[in-house]
Structure 1
Amino acid sequence: MQSLSLLPLLAIFAAAAVAIWVAGVQLSNTTDVLSQRFGLGQALGGVILLAIATNLPELAITASAAASGNIGVAVGNILGGIGIQTVVLVALDAFGVREKMPLTYKAASLTLVIEGLLVVAVLIVAIMGTQLPASLVYARVGRDALAIALIWILGVWLIGRANRGLPWHDSAGDAPDTQSEPKGHSQAKAEQDATSKGTSTVRTAIVFLVAAVVTLVAGVVLERAGDGIADHIGMSGVLFGATVLAAATSLPELSTGLTSARAGDYQLAISDIFGGNAFLPVLFLLATLISGKAVLPEAQDTDIYLAGLAVLFTSAYLAGLIFRPKRRILGMGIDSLAVLVLYAVGTMGLFAIALQHA
């Protein structure tokens, strides 16, 4: 695509983004139905299936970038994707909550705190991995990327245990005056709607597979077209991957998150974002396997900066889940407003770093 002019590249990029949006919504819907019908629900298998399904665009982009040797785009897309997907919670708070309380007030749960802490943990290990020597690779597996994957698996197991009950006064770990129905009730309703319409499990699985293929292909197209656009406008691939590309791949999370929030399933809306964010750094292992070299030691200043921003965003929402402020400012909770301000200031800092190295 490098030979194409800017206008066709923009058209291809937009078409791929729309394809990811539509296919991503179908992936989310069919994942809900399949999880319920196979009895996965909030269990370990359901969490893993949902994490992979919602991050197929990032998976495709990471694989494509690593295969073409464009490691900077892969790293920037992963770390930038975590930051952008966390900012999606700002939109859910402002436009998805029908009640006069902030999103984190209605969703407050110890399980969500554990999920947020898992995001922070894998990000910190990723930052530490950037300082390790690139020689720590054996059989195309980087020690840092492997550590992230193992921490993620352990974290998901702990979340599964938390979903089954916690040794607290409220065994579910929910704060008082949260959502009226249990976490995941919108998934059960999606399965009931599919059953009432006579949608079979086989048909649902076929739609899931077709949507997955479309998402993977569109993700590769998005990465290639984005690389060409970055060259045309004189923007580094790392910066483009961390901003525009990451925003495009976060469209499905925005759509499905709004659906969950408007259905009153606030815990699921936040859980989907935290769950996807915790899984994204696991893709460093995929990038290492494909490229054959350690990815994190090649991270640039902007990548480390983005990881730090993502930790800040997640920490703000963890504070909101624990302290549960009731006040809304500009139609959103104080934590969402803080994240929005941090994002604006942080983006300016990101461009300042990029200009410094230009």
Structure 2
Amino acid sequence: MPDIAALSTGTLLGLFVAAAVVIALLGTRMAGIADALADRTGLGEALIGSVLLGAGTSISGIVTSVSTAASGHPELSVSNAMGGIAAQTMFLALADIAYRKVNLEHAAASAVNLAQANILIILVALPILAWATPPVALLGIHPLTPVLVAGYLIGLHNAHSVHRDPMWVPRSTPDTRDEADDPEDDPHRTSVLAWSFAGLVAVVGLAGWIVGETGTLLSGRLGVSETVVGALMTAIVTSLPELVTTTAAVRRGALQLAVGGIIGGNMFDALFVAASDVAYRGGSIYHAVSERTLFWFAVVLLMTAVLLMGLLRRERQGPGGIGWESVLLLTLWIGGAGLQVALG
């Protein structure tokens, strides 16, 4: 890879913005492909959204976290992961605003999304548990890191079981939108769609590397803390595919895909911390971060709990035509971001 450290600050900003544009533009096509594959594979929008769309759109974020961790910037790496989850959860509130018929969490009822939100809370709580324990590391990797990966895989298996044989079924209302209401009409063969998705993932991953490298350099040159850069700059930029794909999915009427893509992407983003621990050669990455980064863990837990409450309650209309959970999600994210910026 070329050495970009010698570039001017203006050029770095230009690269940062250009990578953001690439990530945002390609996200729209990724949503359409994922929607088509959900119907053709029979796995369902919520599960495909969490696995294929969630992981695919998160590729830029994991590249950013791993590359910055390998470069010796644990704060930027972990805050990028948690900031990305917070931003993506907030995007659901924006999607709720865009979907004017009814509260999005009411229309996109899915037992799979409920199950995955619970797993996400577990995955975010585990690194806090690691932080509170002695800084043990085997070959530079904390023992909790493989547990985090195992928890993710068990969560996917659990979601598949819930989709295949649900023990809880949401009550259908006139405003509930089922996957059958969104027929697939893409003319391309399944193999073409799969390879196209893989190609888009590769390009988005390269853009994520550019975001991570430029973000690290800009943090030093502009005198901004790595936590702020990670949680509010690189996290938002690498989360742009989720914003674009969620909006595109809502417009297509694939509501379960939209919600599942965010929750599944958040589950995958929780693995950024595990991958960053492997890449970070200074010992346990859980013990290399400050309380400011832990603040974002707490924000993510709160936002996920609020989202889960909204998915369970399924309020039809709230203030401004959106659900109360959306109001709370926006308030939590804006409040957390404002506090971090104020602290510098």
CA RMSD in angstroms comes to 2.4
Question: Does residue 1:53 correspond to 2:43, yes or no?
Answer: no
1:66: how far off? 2.0
Residue of 208, 219, 224 corresponding to 1:219: 208
Question: Does residue 1:239 correspond to 2:228, yes or no?
Answer: yes
Alignment of 1:35-50 (within 5 A): 36-37=39-40, 40-41=43-44, 47-50=50-53
1:34: how far off? 4.4
Alignment of 1:151-230 (within 5 A): 151-168=151-168, 173-177=169-173, 180-183=176-179, 186=182, 189=184, 192-193=185-186, 195=187, 199-230=188-219
SS of 2:157's partner is helix
Alignment of 1:345-356 (within 5 A): 345-352=335-342, 354-355=343-344
Cα-to-partner distance string for 1:278-328 (whole Å, 9 max, x where unaligned):
111112222222224321121211211101101111111211122222333
Contact 1:179/1:266 (CA < 8 Å) preserved in 2?
no
Residue of 65, 73, 93 corresponding to 1:90: 93
Contact 1:122/1:151 (CA < 8 Å) preserved in 2?
yes
Alignment of 1:1-358 (within 5 A): 1-34=4-37, 36-37=39-40, 40-41=43-44, 47-95=50-98, 97-99=99-101, 101-135=102-136, 137-168=137-168, 173-177=169-173, 180-183=176-179, 186=182, 189=184, 192-193=185-186, 195=187, 199-292=188-281, 293-352=283-342, 354-355=343-344
**Alpha-carbon separation, structure 1, partners of 2:71 and 2:270:** 19
- Go from structure 1 to structure 2 and tell me whether the alpha carbon gap of 1:331 and 1:233 turns closer, same or farther (over 3 Å shift): farther
SS of 2:149's partner is helix
TM-score, normalising length from structure 1?
0.87
Structure 1 window deviating more from structure 2 (11-20 vs 264-273): it is: 264-273
**Alpha-carbon separation, structure 2, partners of 1:71 and 1:8:** 25
**Alpha-carbon separation, structure 2, partners of 1:285 and 1:69:** 15
SS of 1:138's partner is coil
TM-score, normalising length from structure 2?
0.90
Contact 1:105/1:178 (CA < 8 Å) preserved in 2?
no
**Alpha-carbon separation, structure 1, partners of 2:67 and 2:58:** 14
1:118: how far off? 1.2
Structure 1 unmatched ranges of 5 or more: none
Structure 1 window deviating more from structure 2 (70-79 vs 28-37): it is: 28-37
- Go from structure 1 to structure 2 and tell me whether the alpha carbon gap of 1:342 and 1:44 turns closer, same or farther (over 3 Å shift): closer
Cα-to-partner distance string for 1:263-284 (whole Å, 9 max, x where unaligned):
3332221111111111111122
Contact 1:71/1:295 (CA < 8 Å) preserved in 2?
yes
Residue type of the alignment partner of 1:174: P
1:336: how far off? 0.5
SS of 1:159's partner is helix
1:44: how far off? 6.9
Contact 1:226/1:240 (CA < 8 Å) preserved in 2?
yes
- Go from structure 1 to structure 2 and tell me whether the alpha carbon gap of 1:234 and 1:178 turns closer, same or farther (over 3 Å shift): farther
1:202: how far off? 4.2
State the number of aligned residues: 340
- Go from structure 1 to structure 2 and tell me whether the alpha carbon gap of 1:226 and 1:181 turns closer, same or farther (over 3 Å shift): same
- Identical-residue share of aligned pairs (%): 26
Structure 2 unmatched ranges of 5 or more: none
